[in-house]
Structure 1
Amino acid sequence: MADGDYFAEAARAVGCPHAPVSGLGLGPPLGWKERLKAGLANSGSTLWFLAGLGLLYALRVPLRLCDNVTAVTGFLSSLTPKFYVALTGTSSLISGLIFIFEWWYFHKHGTSFIEQVSISHLRPLMGGTESSISEPGSPANSREKCKVWRNPLNLFRGAEYRRYTWVTGKEPLTYYDMNLSAQDHQTFFTCETDFLRPSDTVMQKAWRERNPPARIKAAYQALELNNDCATAYVLLAEEEATTIVDAERLFKQALRAGEIIYRRSQQCQHQSPQHEAQLRRDTNVLVYIKRRLAMCARKLGRIREAVKIMRDLMKEFPPLTMLNIHENLLESLLELQAYADVQAVLAKYDDISLPKSAAICYTAALLKTRTVSDKFSPETAFRKGLSTAEINAVEAIHRAVEFNPHVPKYLLEMKSLILPPEHILKRGDSEAIAYAFFHLQHWKRIEGALNLLQCTWEGTFRMIPYPLEKGHLFYPYPSCTETADRELLPTFHHVSVYPKKELPFFIHFTAGLCSSTAMLAFLTHQFPEVMGVFAKAVSMISRTCVEYL
């Protein structure tokens, strides 16, 4: 169901503050000297073209242009229709191959191959200069803004990802994603004092190992050296356990070992900087274990237990907000349908000074939608107008869609879901998959929520006609998301692209060239006499024009 213009106007009528316009480059008006220089610079190509025509006219006699044109015309007149059929057929085949290659390259890399070669190689040869300063919206600058975050709700490799591979034969994780996880593990679970404990030295090598069986073997070696090696139990729970029950059992063993090591580190933390680093590492291990235990409880249906563990973690370790434990808490509270508690969490974390996420924005939209969705009707809204509560709900949906425009297609089941990656790109397709994978059931549970979303989400795009240049409530949409998402998501998934790219000029050009030459070949084959007369007429007109010059 398409969104009517009324909904977009209603959302604007409530006076939402627009994002500050900055960086437009407005300065004092240019003087006549600057305008003259700019005009001369822009007219340089025209002057060169006119100079070339003048030179050609001046050299028409020494070059014997008329005689050469007459010879070419005579040669063309002697050609048979079969030659024209072969010529146009060959041209059609070549242009068709170029068209197919351009289309494939555009879908794989998002740019035109001919354009890229022209800009990268031919332009410098022809005297063009490449600006050393990137534009604000250019991919080079946007790439730096695209920070990859660890998925707070990431699945278990052994109990979930590997089972998917066994059933489908497809790999749900990319090498890039797993490499980022390996870096995270080395950051969280290692420190410079690992050489003091042989088991930690073995685990340091295990986290760097690419082969899963080798990592599991190293974890068992670490347990032989030290039966209280918490990180070894963590690795086995993540990668060897084939069920959530097995993973929980191993994490409980890791928790017992981790608490012992954590208490020892607390007692020695002030002895040296190395002991402080060791305490930080042991704290990370303990928090990770408790969080994964909470996720195991959530998956096994013990939701209140999971909520308690998460709340205790947030109270005991408030500095570790970058782990986004509140997103795990939000999802569990939604499963309990404790909407008042969800609102309390949002009041704390949906703050202008904190980083936003799809979970924050869409959960806020879901709560406002919940109050009006059961009675919402597009026909009634069109006749009588939107109530204040409905306007607030539409506003919240527009805000969420502006932050991540990929989510609605998954919530409305216009695109099929896949297993979420271990890392996500905020505002990208990977974040949309991770959010919808866990939250689709919460939207379905509220009557009319998806109907209201379907009626209003497309109205967001009318408020941001140029999302890469200017946003409405958020910064402009980063142009680097497509490239980063292609590295995070498996190849069998069709990555969602926003804003939708237009086909490059050269794809249209080669398609037209292929079609026109194929048509000429067909006409020449069917009507050789008529096309021969047509070719002679074209050559005669060309000769007349040259002789006139």
Structure 2
Amino acid sequence: MAEAGTGFLEQLKSCIVWSWTYLWTLWFFIMLFLVYILRVPLKINDNLTTVSMFLNTLTPKFYVALTGTSSLISGLILIFEWWYFRKYGTSFIEQVSVSHLRPLLGGVDNSAPSATSAAAGDADSSRQSVSECKVWRNPLNLFRGAEYNRYTWVTGREPLTYYDMNLSAQDHQTFFTCDTDHMRPADAIMQKAWRERNPQARISAAHEALELNECATAYILLAEEEATTIVEAEKLFKQALKAGEGCYRRSQQLQHHGAQYEAQHRRDTNVLVYIKRRLAMCARKLGRTREAVKMMRDLMKEFPLLSMFNIHENLLEALLELQAYADVQAVLAKYDDISLPKSATICYTAALLKARAVSDKFSPEAASRRGLSTAEMNAVEAIHRAVEFNPHVPKYLLEMKSLILPPEHILKRGDSEAIAYAFFHLQHWKRVEGALNLLHCTWEGTFRMIPYPLEKGHLFYPYPICTETADRELLPSFHEVSVYPKKELPFFILFTAGLCSFTAMLALLTHQFPELMGVFAKAFLSTLFAPLNFVMEKVESILPSSLWHQLTRI
């Protein structure tokens, strides 16, 4: 019985919601008709007369104060809406309306997909959304002590956000710790050090661990955060390599003796790969590029399954520095595969190689007269492919937007990835004659192929809508985050701006010309209510005047 009553109430509620959604005009006219019928017992005419007499007694100063206050309030709302839009990329009023008012009006029931359709039709899109909005470790991240901290000392600005550094702390705990660390005093100290938020406390803990034992992770922390130059960092990483190789050999012999030994070997493998990769990056930064390339190739051969570090992107950048374009093409042939995840480095390096074949002789005027050749068409298509994957990169390559230090983590297809790519690869594009000119002439043509990038892509999935929010967390506040597709100003910002300007103008005119504005207001109100008075007269001529008395007698 109770279930039947609950079901009846739900049906009644759904009927009322449906009627308010689709028959709101009918409800509006019914309410007007009831107000007209009840005008005599409700004394509507007398109340309107009283209100009009009260308004006639008000002085122009009241209207000046009223319009001025309205202008002030709408101006404050405008300022808040503009600040909220700049910070979060959406309108506060619109967000509150969608989040709180729409469920009350039944909008969730109408728009929410059913369980069956969500499981069948939205499975691919949800998987794509999770993978596209995942934050990745920047394979070319800088050194905190030797590079990020030096920037802070010079400019007084913090290049890394708390969110970015917190992600790095989680990565360090994942890569450099295991469950058996409590059995070794030095590793137990380092396990606590990676959780410390204070940099000085982490450095002190690393020195304390080194007093107990030759700890590879302690050397890593000192090389990353205490070393003020790349040379100092390289020396510390070489000491870490010596300690890390010893731990790796010992754990390799014991890895099959149990789960704990296997976890320890996995940790020692991560430590060794990290050290060798950072040593290769030190060699690259110190100008020993060929040595860096050899170290990266050896590392990829020794640990082919550890793709989490994306060492091939470091290799691509070093090969481009050597202008070994054939070797770059060989690396792309292996990693630019449809089954592998893409990145801005992969897509834009492929575009650079194809642009290199035609860019030195490319002329937009000649191309418009004779059309594009096959090689030029391939280069343009490669640029369109790269721009579709990450549309933020061209503005940095063309120096239309200023670069900052790249963060330690990036969001693929986002502004953070574009900064990380352009920071290291802008010099390679400048080195290829005409490459930036070809990019400048062709990159905006990508957007004609994808007019609705959030709904449907051309070669990739639709552009994820989560990039702006994640990039604002990853990038420092002094950087203006690039947004794609460009958002138009919300309706409520335009509305409050118009309302503020209009009420301010009314306040000024009422203060300067009170009599003229009074005449204008009366004429405007009479014109506004003229159609309503006309309808009321027609209704009174059709309906009998004693209708209310007849209804009361019934």
Question: Same fold, TM exceeding 0.5?
Answer: yes
Quote the residue 1:275 is aligned against: 261
Corresponding position: 1:179 with 2:166: yes
Residue 496 of structure 2: which of 510, 513, 520 is its match? 510
Corresponding position: 1:500 with 2:486: yes
Corresponding position: 1:156 with 2:143: yes
1:73–1:539 Cα contact (<8 Å) kept: no
Corresponding position: 1:237 with 2:228: no
**Could you say if the C-alpha distance between residues 124 and 266 of structure 1 is closer, same or farther in structure 2, counting changes exceeding 3 Å?**
closer
Quote the residue 1:16 is aligned against: none
Corresponding position: 1:427 with 2:427: no
Quote the residue 1:263 is aligned against: 249
Taking CA–CA contacts closer than 8 Å with sequence separation of 6 or more, which of the two structures ends up with the larger relative contact order?
Answer: 1
Which of 380-389 and 39-48 deviates more? 39-48
Residue 63 of structure 2: which of 59, 78, 84 is its match? 84
Letter in 1 for 2:167: L
Corresponding position: 1:417 with 2:403: yes
Percent identity over paired residues: 80
Corresponding position: 1:254 with 2:233: no
Instruction: Give the Å deviation of 1:123.
Output: 3.7
Distance 1:108 1:182 in 2: 26
Corresponding position: 1:93 with 2:72: yes
1:66–1:547 Cα contact (<8 Å) kept: no
1:73–1:540 Cα contact (<8 Å) kept: no
Quote the residue 1:301 is aligned against: 287
Residue 361 of structure 1: which of 347, 358, 361 is its match? 347
Corresponding position: 1:105 with 2:84: yes
Quote the residue 2:461 is aligned against: 475
Residue 382 of structure 2: which of 396, 401, 412 is its match? 396
Distance 2:317 2:454 in 1: 31
Letter in 2 for 1:523: L
2:160–2:475 Cα contact (<8 Å) kept: yes
Letter in 2 for 1:336: L
SS of 2:428's partner is helix
SS of 2:194's partner is helix
Instruction: Give the Å deviation of 1:529.
Output: 1.8
- Give TM-score scaled by structure 2 length: 0.89
Quote the residue 2:370 is aligned against: 384
Distance 2:410 2:270 in 1: 21
Quote the residue 1:215 is aligned against: 202
Provide Cα deviations, 1:33-74, integer angstroms capped at 9, x if missing partner: xxx999978523223222222222221222222222222222
Distance 2:104 2:429 in 1: 57
1:73–1:543 Cα contact (<8 Å) kept: no
Instruction: Give the Å deviation of 1:139.
Output: 10
How many residues of Structure 1 are paired with residues of Structure 2 in the alignment?
Answer: 513
Quote the residue 1:114 is aligned against: 93
Provide Cα deviations, 1:394-427, integer angstroms capped at 9, x if missing partner: 1000000000000001001111111000000000
Bigger fraction of residues in helix: 2
Instruction: Give the Å deviation of 1:143.
Output: 6.0
Quote the residue 1:29 is aligned against: none
Quote the residue 2:539 is aligned against: none
Which of 435-444 and 188-197 deviates more? 188-197
Instruction: Give the Å deviation of 1:196.
Output: 2.1
Distance 2:198 2:387 in 1: 40
2:407–2:416 Cα contact (<8 Å) kept: yes
Letter in 2 for 1:165: T
Distance 1:498 1:335 in 2: 30
SS of 2:410's partner is strand
Letter in 2 for 1:211: N
2:343–2:412 Cα contact (<8 Å) kept: yes
Letter in 2 for 1:447: E
Instruction: Give the Å deviation of 1:485.
Output: 0.6
Quote the residue 1:458 is aligned against: 444
SS of 1:171's partner is coil
Residue 71 of structure 1: which of 28, 32, 50 is its match? 50
Letter in 1 for 2:67: T
Quote the residue 1:57 is aligned against: 36
Quote the residue 2:298 is aligned against: 312
Quote the residue 2:188 is aligned against: 201
Instruction: Give the Å deviation of 1:297.
Output: 0.1
**Could you say if the C-alpha distance between residues 305 and 141 of structure 1 is closer, same or farther in structure 2, counting changes exceeding 3 Å?**
closer
Instruction: Give the Å deviation of 1:94.
Output: 1.4
Quote the residue 2:211 is aligned against: 224
Letter in 1 for 2:355: T
2:70–2:503 Cα contact (<8 Å) kept: yes
Distance 1:169 1:159 in 2: 15
SS of 1:191's partner is coil
Q: Structure 1 stretches of 5 or more lacking a match?
A: 1-35
Corresponding position: 1:485 with 2:471: yes
Quote the residue 1:532 is aligned against: 518
Provide Cα deviations, 1:355-404, integer angstroms capped at 9, x if missing partner: 00000000000000001111111111111111111111110000000000
Instruction: Give the Å deviation of 1:163.
Output: 0.5
Residue 350 of structure 1: which of 299, 313, 336 is its match? 336
Quote the residue 1:31 is aligned against: none
- Give TM-score scaled by structure 1 length: 0.89
Distance 1:140 1:519 in 2: 53
SS of 1:269's partner is helix
Instruction: Give the Å deviation of 1:537.
Output: 2.4
Provide Cα deviations, 1:212-240, integer angstroms capped at 9, x if missing partner: 111111111111111x2111111110010
Instruction: Give the Å deviation of 1:145.
Output: 4.3
Which of 61-70 and 497-506 deviates more? 61-70
Q: Structure 2 stretches of 5 or more lacking a match?
A: 1-14, 537-554
Which of 398-407 and 58-67 deviates more? 58-67
Distance 2:503 2:125 in 1: 37
RMSD: 2.3
Instruction: Give the Å deviation of 1:100.
Output: 1.1
Distance 2:145 2:491 in 1: 47
Distance 2:51 2:125 in 1: 49
Provide Cα deviations, 1:86-130, integer angstroms capped at 9, x if missing partner: 222221111111111111111111111111222333344556546
SS of 2:328's partner is helix
SS of 1:200's partner is helix
**Could you say if the C-alpha distance between residues 138 and 314 of structure 1 is closer, same or farther in structure 2, counting changes exceeding 3 Å?**
closer
Which of 359-368 and 376-385 deviates more? 376-385
Letter in 2 for 1:194: D
Distance 2:474 2:100 in 1: 30
Distance 2:410 2:503 in 1: 47
